[in-house]
């Protein structure tokens, strides 16, 4: 099938050449096959390394510190191992490198984004938990690192644009047929990319506050992006659905599948009561991966729908801060908004599951926009 073939994969070099002797190895050329096994491999990495990582984090006393301003019910979580995002990053990167097309620009950018923001989050966690600095890595330095990544991605896509139906500075407008926004110039497009990547990374980081909340919602968002990536990179499907074809973007399906597997694998240990927290190491990496995916498949505005809960969480913080500074009044009992629901009397597990449900509905809504085009 057009758009379902790869060209150079790590396992492809080892196994696909044997297809002349063992016809079964021919399946490695299909994106769908490799995506399924990327998810399975990510789960395997999580299950195999999870207990070891949690044990080592406990031995090194890498433990979560609960802020005094949070809900009182969270004090029981004091001392839970954190920086479990190391497991998430490994479970995403390893299967992608094994089963993804390593000559594909989309895949390389996505993996770089995960590693870069995982490293930024790791430094923040290290300074906060190990070095006991009260604020960890200062916010302005985190923002600089995020913007540097976003600007780098924007420059690559602007000066080395992949082949496709859209120009290098155009992006889709969701829900509207044959409607696109063209930033026209690099000095507009590149900062826009940086804003999307930075905003998504920070939105997920702000949402990370309840057991299993981020893991479950990222899994659903990644499944939606997997469908969007595959269709965008498939000649026949994109033509039938009247959406712009982006050559090579289908390979991102493998990366999305790895995110799904990594999120589910981490959720095994992170569900209530959590055995480990992801910390900024995982939250920044996962958020950045979603923002990067949206940029690569030209669905930056649809990101607001796919990641609607993350957007609402970030907005709740902004609204709370602005309201308190201007009126000395709070709009929510506590921000981010998931704490507001807790203080309304909802048990933590109820908040998490209900937000998962909304995330699933938003994922389905985002996929429905394809038919509207």
Asked whether the predicted pLDDT for residue 3 surpasses 50, the reply is no
- Ramachandran class of 185: left when φ > 0, alpha when ψ lies in -120 to 50, beta otherwise: beta
CA-CA distance, 154 to 185, in Å (whole number)? Answer: 11
26-35, 136-145, 294-303: range with lowest mean pLDDT: 26-35
Output the CA–CA distances (angstroms, integers) from residue 354 to 72, 96, 217, 309, 321, in the order listed. Answer: 21, 31, 11, 11, 25
Distance CA 301, CA 283 (A): 21
- CB 357: neighbour CB atoms within 10 A? 12
Q: What is the rounded average pLDDT for all residues in the chain?
A: 91
Please tell me which residue, 207 or 65, carries the higher pLDDT value: 207
Model confidence pLDDT, tens digit, residues 251-262: 999 999 999 999
- 0.75 cut: is pTM over it? yes
Chain segment 35-53, per-residue pLDDT in tens: 999 999 999 999 999 999 9
Q: Which two tokens stand for residue 256?
A: 């999305």
Q: What is the DSSP letter of 333?
A: S
36's CB contacts (< 8 A; 6+ apart) are 257
Higher pLDDT, 17 or 45: 45
Q: At what angle do helices 105-125 and 279-296 cross, to 10 degrees?
A: 160
Q: Is 108 helix (H, G, I), strand (E, B) or coil?
A: helix
Residue 11 pLDDT = 63
For residue 8, pLDDT over 90 is answered with no
**What percentage of the chain reaches a pLDDT higher than 90?**
76
Q: Which residue has 């976003």 as its token pair?
A: 150
pLDDT digits (tens, 9 = 90+) for 291-308: 999 999 999 999 999 999
CA angle centred on 92, ends 91 and 94, rounded to 5°: 70
SS3 21: coil
> Per-residue confidence at 370, pLDDT binned at 50, 70, 90?
confident
The tokens describing 329, both together, are 């009044």
Is it the case that residue 75 has pLDDT exceeding 80? Answer: no
Residue bearing tokens 């990370």? 208
> What is the predicted pLDDT for the residue at 21?
63
Across the range 209-219, mean pLDDT stands at: 97
**Confidence (pLDDT) at 78:** 82
Confidence of residue 19 (pLDDT cuts 50, 70, 90): low
- pLDDT of res. 96: 95
Contact 45, 91 (CB under 8 A): yes
The tally of CA atoms less than 13 A away on the side-chain side of residue 335 is 21
Which of 234, 244, 228 lies closest to 166 in space, CA to CA? 244
What digits encode the pLDDT tens for the residues 265-324? 999 999 999 999 999 999 999 999 999 999 999 999 999 999 999 999 999 999 999 999
Phi, psi of 213 (to 5 degrees): -65, -55
Q: What is the DSSP string of 273-328?
A: SPS---HHHHHHHHHHHHHHHHHHTT-TTTHHHHTHHHHHHHHHHHHHHHHHHHHS
Q: What would the two tokens of residue 92 be?
A: 């995403």
Domain spans of the chain?
33-372
pLDDT value at residue 166: 79
DSSP string, 21-51: T-GGGGGGGBHHHHHHHHHHHHHHHHHHHHH
């Amino acid at each position: 099938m057009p758009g379902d073939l790869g060209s150079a994969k790590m396992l492809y070099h080892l196994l696909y050449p044997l297809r002349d002797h063992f016809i079964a190895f021919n399946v490695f050329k299909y994106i769908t096959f490799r995506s399924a096994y990327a998810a399975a491999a990510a789960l395997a990495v999580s299950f195999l390394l999870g207990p070891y990582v949690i044990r080592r984090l406990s031995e090194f006393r890498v433990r979560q510190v609960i802020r005094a301003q949070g809900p009182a019910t969270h004090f029981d979580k004091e001392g839970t191992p954190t920086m479990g995002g190391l497991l998430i990053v490994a479970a995403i990167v390893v299967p992608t490198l094994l089963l993804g097309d390593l000559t594909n620009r989309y895949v390389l950018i996505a993996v770089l984004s995960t590693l870069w923001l995982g490293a930024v989050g790791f430094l923040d966690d290290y300074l906060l938990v190990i070095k006991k600095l009260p604020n960890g890595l200062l916010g302005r330095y985190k923002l600089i690192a995020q913007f540097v990544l976003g600007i780098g991605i924007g420059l690559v896509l602007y000066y080395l644009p992949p082949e496709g139906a859209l120009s290098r500075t155009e992006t889709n407008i969701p829900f509207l047929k044959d409607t696109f926004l063209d930033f026209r110039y690099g000095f507009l497009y590149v900062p826009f990319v940086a804003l999307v990547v930075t905003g998504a990374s920070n939105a997920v980081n702000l949402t990370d506050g309840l057991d299993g909340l981020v893991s479950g919602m990222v899994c659903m968002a990644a499944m939606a992006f997997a469908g969007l990536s595959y269709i965008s990179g498939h000649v026949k499907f994109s033509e039938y659905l009247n959406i712009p074809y982006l050559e090579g973007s289908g390979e991102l399906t493998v990366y999305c599948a790895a995110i799904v597997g990594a999120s589910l694998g981490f959720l095994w240990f992170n569900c209530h009561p959590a055995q480990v927290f992801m910390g900024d190491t995982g939250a920044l990496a996962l958020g950045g991966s979603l923002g990067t995916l949206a940029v690569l498949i030209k669905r930056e505005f649809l990101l607001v729908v796919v990641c609607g809960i993350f957007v609402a969480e970030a907005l709740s913080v902004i609204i709370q801060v602005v309201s308190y500074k201007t009126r000395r009044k709070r709009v929510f009992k506590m921000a981010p908004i998931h704490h507001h629901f807790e203080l309304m009397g909802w048990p933590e597990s109820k908040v998490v599951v209900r937000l998962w449900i909304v995330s699933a509905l938003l994922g389905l809504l985002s996929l429905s926009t394809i038919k509207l085009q």
